[in-house]
Structure 1
């Protein structure tokens, strides 16, 4: 019975924790200059320099350079794939054109409504 209990504890607690630690180590070892990262304090920045000897990383946070321990990095943002980004830009441009059309129509409607109100006011006088 005790052996079964230890086996259950291993598969439910110890093994998943080891996998998570291994995944984190791999993530930290793959960090390179230019990656966007988030620290454990939820500070977003871009990696400017990595010092392997001291295990530190320098982040550029909108022109402010901060030095953190590598262990302070919570996650690395995944860079967007270039092909879908180009496709999204084309879609965004098309959507902007439709938005411009919608805005111009709503502007025309608003102008017509205000003109109608002014005519009503002038007739009432």
Structure 2
């Protein structure tokens, strides 16, 4: 005959005792490392930035993401008016405020 007989294996004879968990372990460890090295610090910075924007008040000296330094003259829900020179005011979106500077950084506008 040309065809050989095929016999079934005994059930459970070659079953993995860990249930395949050892195959997923490297993937799980990689996710944990990425979480602690990348995602968690980014969430912390985002939370600090949100708190800084909530504490923003008129008269604060700020730095925008575009590199503009000025004094806050008005605050809206989404926008901030920043005076960058005497009589020159620009309106920027609130999230573009990068940092609140120490008082006295901007001497004379």
Structure 2 portions without partners, runs of 5+:
1-25, 105-109
Query: Counterparts in 2 of 1:5-16, with a 5 A limit?
Result: 5-16=30-41
Match of 2:55 in 1: 30
Structure 1 portions without partners, runs of 5+:
81-125
For the aligned residue pairs, the C-alpha RMSD in angstroms reads: 1.2
Q: With the length of structure 2 as denominator, give the TM-score of the two structures.
A: 0.68
Residue by residue, what CA displacement relative to the aligned partner does 1:73-101 show, whole Å, maximum 9, x if unpaired?
11111337xxxxxxxxxxxxxxxxxxxxx
Structure with higher RCO (Cα < 8 A, 6+ apart): 2
Instruction: Report the 3-state secondary structure (helix = DSSP H, G, I; strand = E; otherwise coil) of the residue aligned with 1:41.
Output: coil
Q: With the length of structure 1 as denominator, give the TM-score of the two structures.
A: 0.59
Query: Counterparts in 2 of 1:100-115, with a 5 A limit?
Result: none
Considering fraction of residues, name the structure with more helix. Answer: 1
Residue among 28, 42, 47 paired with 1:17: 42
Instruction: Report the 3-state secondary structure (helix = DSSP H, G, I; strand = E; otherwise coil) of the residue aligned with 2:39.
Output: helix
Query: Alignment length, in residue pairs?
Result: 78
Residue by residue, what CA displacement relative to the aligned partner does 1:44-101 show, whole Å, maximum 9, x if unpaired?
100000011xx00001112201111001111111337xxxxxxxxxxxxxxxxxxxxx
